[in-house]
Amino acid sequence: MEALLIGIYSFFVWLIFFKFKLLPWNSTSQVIVVTIPIIGITALILTLNVVAPSSSDVRVLKYVVNVVPQVRGRIIEVPVEPNRLVKKGAVLFRIDPTPYEIQVRSLEASLVNAQGGVQATREDLDAASGRTRSLAAQLALATLRVGQNTELVARGAGDRFALESAQTDTKRLEADLVSARANEAAIRAQLDATVGEDQAEVAQIRAQLAQAQWDLEQTTLYAPADGYAINVQIRPGAMTAAFPTLPVMTFVESEYQVIALFAQNELHKIEPGNEAEFTLLTYPGQIIKATVDSIVWAQGQGQIAVSSTLPQTGVAPIPPGRFPVKLEVAPKHKDLFLPAGAVGNGAVYTKHVEVIQILRRVILRIGAKLDYLILKLH
């Protein structure tokens, strides 16, 4: 663009000084002619860098999920094709569910038995309560007989053997009543030990059954989003286990982010909502429209790692950092496939001195055309 401006300027110089000779071509005019483009283009570029800053480092970022199974087992199916678009919810792979199905059925049976045991315990409580009431009634009757026999013996009309027999029956019934009440209390305590609405044993088996059902569900893994399965390391027949550091495949989501890195002093005019454009080497000659979503006001140089030693700055100064500006791709280009890691150039058009921003647009478009050139000799 600068060369084009200089060419236009040179044409007018030729017309004025040589073609029509409207002004003399002397030392003074020569100095002026040379100075004007230097100062003008320098001022234009410096102003353009403020009101329409450009970046030579535009990047496409995508979310990457390392797929790790939650349960161990033998792989029986891998229907996903590597490097092919996968829709959210599609099956990635399946683990042999047989041992987990057996565990679920076993716990379901245990749950039925436990629920039956609770019903039996309630029946035992009813029986224990009935026995306690019966013994209490018998004890009341035996106590009454002891009182009657004691009164008769005191008057000389009673049988002392009958009195002693009644007293023995009373003591036996008292011991039986204490034992019956203890048994009733133990059964009632067993029934009162609940978690939520379930008796403790039933609640425990329910929890184990829920865990077993969850394990069974984890034998089939699904795509977490639209994307691509990359680096698929498993095949049917292989064994796998839940090791977070050993993913069986890498899943790259279709959703992406576009960021443009700018020097710190280029950001003071940029605001969310500003128009932006960028190009990618993946699509030579194409201008992709966007708007500024936000400025990420953080970078790694702003963080000090936790350490017992003082921060080290090294023998050389820390290089100046740049801040990423997140770009929102325009709806017309929203469905354009942007590969993870694609790079290119971009520019943001602020609301200041918009009249000269056409130069930045032209420069960006010329650069996009130059992306067609593959500069290698082999």
Residue-wise pLDDT for 194-219, tens only, equals 555 566 677 788 889 999 999 999 99
Task: Give the pLDDT band (50/70/90) at residue 1.
Answer: low
- Looking at the DSSP bridge assignments, the partners of residue 95 are 75
Neighbours of 323 (CB within 10 A): 19
- Looking at the DSSP bridge assignments, the partners of residue 326 are 259, 294
Specify the DSSP element, H or E, that contains 55.
strand 54-67
User: 67-95+222-251, which class in CATH?
Assistant: mainly beta
* Residue 64 CB contacts under 8 Å (≥ 6 apart), including other chains: 250, 251, 252, 253, 340
Predicted confidence at residue 191, as pLDDT, reads: 56
pTM of the model: 0.69
Predicted confidence at residue 199, as pLDDT, reads: 67
Q: Indicate if the pLDDT at residue 173 is higher than 80.
A: no
CATH number for the domain whose boundaries are 99-215: 1.20.120
Q: Indicate if the pLDDT at residue 20 is higher than 90.
A: no
Task: Give the pLDDT band (50/70/90) at residue 318.
Answer: low
Higher pLDDT: 252 or 132? It is 252
Q: Indicate if the pLDDT at residue 193 is higher than 70.
A: no
Measured between alpha carbons, how far is residue 25 from residues 6, 13, 37, 38, 58 in Å?
19, 10, 17, 19, 47
Helix (H, G, I), strand (E, B) or coil at 332: helix
Reported as half-sphere exposure (CB side, CA atoms, 13 A), residue 199 has a value of 20
